[in-house]
Structure 1
Amino acid sequence: MKLMLLHTARQARPTTDIERFALLADTLQGCGVQILNEYVQNQEELTHNLRQFNPDMVFASDYYLENAAGQRSNIHQLLEEAHTPYIGSSAETLELVLSKVALKRKWQENGVITPDGFWATRDPQTDQLDEAIEAAEYPYLLKPNREGNSRGLDESSIVFNQLQLERKANALLQEYPGVLVEKYLGIINELREFTVAMIGNQGNRLLMPAEITLKAKKKLRLITTRDKDEHFTLAEPVRDEILKHNLSEFAEKAFDVANVRDYARCDILMVKHKFYAIEINGQPMIPDRWFETCSYSQELSEKQYLPAIVLAAIERYRLTGDVDWPIPPQLYEHLPQSALESLVHSAN
């Protein structure tokens, strides 16, 4: 089986990305998968590489590619149009989970508990900032709508009155087209934070929770990009069986409503034994430290959860009848029987 690892160079983190992709390639090659490690800068290069190498499947580490005219398209949509199988969720689903506001609305419509929120925009027709002011459900947490990995968050993102709310919203709207104004739960002492990694698809799925804590206590609990990048957080797999079951059950509904596929991660807060869905990372940057820690809760090692993701995608295509690839025997040999029973229909 030929798997193309597709990357675009990120100028801010070139060394980190090279190391991450090398680890991914090395791990998967050890499982009988032929790796084509390709950097592309535009849609034309993608089309050329697909024709030249004809991969069986593609794993794309980025969301978008531009064409020669500078128009941006979702990579998974481009792969759909090229009739090339790929690992991960559809372009439509990725767009949904990228939008914190759209995902929150979908969750609320389908009974998934999530903190109350409002939508601040530059467009007077859709802006709800006045509604947030009138509701006065302070404190609020302000987040750029379509940014992941806690980008755009710092301590000033938590506001306690109308003046702070208006100032922060206006500042963010200078940089971002939309902002989620969300009820902030971090002042509650009983608050705990979790992330649940998912590998697989409906009916064949691994759910793997971990608890996230800060190494140094903050006056106001908020995990920022700096906390993640500089390893100021600590992730521990959830071992308590009742808590693990309840988190997995809650996360599964959140994943199902969003319609994510193959792999994803859902952030969840627990306040006084009540769960709140916060957001879904529909395309985690694997290998990923938090995803790896989550996998320990299902007894998967750092060398096993990556091939498990590939296996989940292969199985999804096999069950739809779109492909007839044999699963590489080394993938079976590399994974524990418990994981195979969860991910492969015929192994149950």
Structure 2
Amino acid sequence: MDASRIRAVRRGAVAVVLVCAAVLLGGCSNPATSARRGGPSTAQAALPLVTNDLQDQYQKVIKEVLPSVVQIQAGQSLGSGVIYDDKGHIVTNAHVVGSEKTFRVTTARSEEPLAASLVYSYPEQDLAVIKLDKVPQGLRPAVFGGSDQVEVGQIVLAMGSPLGLSSSVTQGIVSATGRTVSEPADDGGSGATIPNMVQTSAAINPGNSGGALVNLDGQVIGIPTLGAADPGMQGGAAPGIGFAIPASMVRTVAGQIIGTGKVTDSGRAALGVTVRTVVDDGYQPAGAALVTVKAGGPAASAGLKAGDVITRLGDTAVGTTTELAEALAEKKPGERVTVTYERSGTRKTAQVTLGEQ
């Protein structure tokens, strides 16, 4: 388990774009004329007011939300979490809790760490819920927003414990929505593939995982989970590209865990198989080979067998297990899709009704 690792963006490629800041130059008009038109003198008077308003809004949101963000110590690793309700439930990332069952939690109001225990971890969506063994007075749950509260360009604040620095805040904007991101597993293999993530320019550093991405209405709109890695920097972080699990998915998963002790309705499409990547004669990825096929599952019902190699799901080419997971992440349970595969050197197709993961 590594709560501080930097993850790789979809398909492992990140373009590094150098953005030059444009210098806004004033006009060349006569200063007296500009003053008569309400030019520089008016702008200079208005700018501090706008700046102060935004600063006041930042401070208001931080004061409201930061007490709902905690630091989690899981074994030798540190991460962040968000207080979900007044019963002591805290939502965080599955990779923050790792294989640990007990934790030490530092809240904004606790001088000493509080004991907590694992309720359930759901690595498929990289979410987990832990619960304080004893609920202190004054515990403040966060307010979670929905998908309608997320718009590209809106200002957001990331709150957490980057590099162990508790109660830290960074700011940025929502850069994009609907991203599908694949994480590496602890063993270097294929980890979780998470759809519909929120991309942000707010700094997401090691230790931010499991914290809060907050809009200026004080609503948690996502759980910061990973930062992009730039292959050109030998796996180093790509500045300004971070990802958060949307609050709507957090509420869905956390609600089921708290209500039933597990995830009963993931909403994630599945074939009912385990797979591995195979390569061609040139050692290039050539498809996802079926290692096991669940009896009575979607793939088995469509006639697929262990040893078949999937090369396409619908219109999406599949060369690796990660690409298959990414293709499935864009589908819904119950959706009917054409699966192209090879069996003993012969290309075949099958119509598969997707199940649920």
TM interval, short-chain normalised: under 0.3
> Could you say which structure has the larger radius of gyration?
2
Greater relative CO (CA pairs within 8 A, separation 6+): 1
TM-score under structure 1 normalisation? 0.24
Structure with more strand by fraction: 2
TM-score under structure 2 normalisation? 0.24
